[in-house]
Amino acid sequence: MTPPLRLLPGLLALTLLTAACTRPEASPAPADPDEEVWIDLFNGRDLTGWTPKIRGYPAGENVGQTFRVVDSLLTVAYDAYDTFDERFGHLFYETPFSHYRIAVEYRFIGEQAPGGPGWALRNSGIMIHGQPPETMGLDQDFPISIEVQLLGGTGEGERPTANLCTPGTHVVMNGELVTQHCINSSSRTYHGDQWVRVEVLVLGDSLIVHEVNGEEVLRYTRPQIGGGTVSGFDPAQKQDGRPLTGGTISLQSESHPVQFRSVRLLNLKGCTDPAALNYKRYFVASDPAACRYP
């Protein structure tokens, strides 16, 4: 029996829809194995994914909105502080990493908070291989970590940036254990409020390299827990001699206003199976659980 003409358009649409639903889907194309996939840890709008921990306060309490976003810039500010009172703070990213490149662009602005220590003038840092914020003591000043120290020039003299400092940690340089707290890099001095790009290559506990504006300025190996220059910690968190193979990333608040216009990370740990859709040739550490297949 021939269906009425008025029903033909509907039958045709049903036939096309059925064909579309039963047609096999094309397999997704694999990604370019050489295309770098950088992650924006800071989204330019708010502090999603970040947790503050300020000395004297529990993790998550952003005292005086110390960490905030101003004009799309991640900003550390102290206008709500009468005096700094050693309230050192850190802003922790939610995901720990072990093998990666991290790149930040920062600048110092304004005046140091009243009561800030002299050494903290135009001073901040990127903390890597750190402990989680919830494991820090209420009055702990710095996370047990490796600090890539960010310094600004004072208008006279030399003051390099991307130095190494070691709160509760040690490293090895030139085959020898370094117990000195801070080691200067070979970078030049950056005065004023100019933007500076610092990039750090982190390869677990085998190698860490600091770069400033594209030039290598410092390298070391075998980061590990040890030494002092950190207070108020839970002793269970400080197992001297334990290698630091990964951990948290955080940005410092040390009494001088600072801004970050980008915080980006290239994860170097991922799927190393060439048959996977998300295989990357630049991965240096394998994470089989990350692999996705056609």
Q: What is the pLDDT of residues 44-82, one digit of tens each?
A: 999 999 999 999 999 999 999 999 999 999 999 999 999
Q: Count CB atoms within 10 A of the CB of residue 12.
A: 10
Among the listed residues 101, 74, 104, 99, the one whose alpha carbon sits nearest the alpha carbon of residue 213: 104
- Distance separating alpha carbons of residues 155 and 170, to the nearest angstrom: 32
Res. 279: pLDDT tops 70: yes
Contact 52, 91 (CB under 8 A): yes
Host H or E run for residue 13: helix 8-22
| pLDDT bracket for residue 31 (50, 70, 90) | confident
CB atoms within 10 A of CB 111: 10
Summary mean pLDDT of the chain:
92
Is it the case that residue 280 has pLDDT exceeding 90? yes
Between CA 223 and CA 203, with CA 290 as vertex, the angle to 5 degrees is 20
Cβ-contact 163, 183 below 8 angstroms:
yes
Token match 């029996």: residue? Answer: 1
Conformational region of residue 216, where left means phi above 0, alpha means psi within -120 to 50, and beta covers everything else: beta
User: Which is more confident, 31 or 195?
Assistant: 195
Q: In the predicted model, what is the mean pLDDT of residues 24-39? A: 82
Q: Residue range 198-207: average pLDDT?
A: 98
The pLDDT assigned to 47 comes to 98
Query: Average of pLDDT values for 282-288?
Result: 98
Considering the entire predicted model, what is its pTM?
0.89
Mean pLDDT in residue range 261-278? 98
Partner residues linked to 215 by β-bridges? 212
Tokens for 245?
A: 């193979």
* Distance separating alpha carbons of residues 53 and 141, to the nearest angstrom: 10
Among 203, 259, 249, which Cα is nearest to 94's?
249
Q: How sure is the predictor about 26, in pLDDT bands with cuts at 50, 70 and 90?
A: low
* pLDDT given at position 174: 93
- The pLDDT score that the predictor gives to residue 30 is 79
Structure tokens at 286: 């394998």
In terms of pLDDT, which residue wins out, 21 or 240? 240
Q: Which residues of 228-238 are buried (b: 16+ CB within 10 A; e: fewer)?
A: eebeebeeebb
The arithmetic mean of pLDDT across residues 165-190, rounded, is 97
38-267 homologous superfamily: Exo-inulinase; domain 1 (2.60.120.560)
Residues in Cβ contact with 12 at an 8 Å cutoff, skipping those fewer than 6 apart: none
Q: Name the residue ranges covered by the structural domains of the chain.
A: 38-267
Whether 211 shows a pLDDT value over 90: the answer reads yes
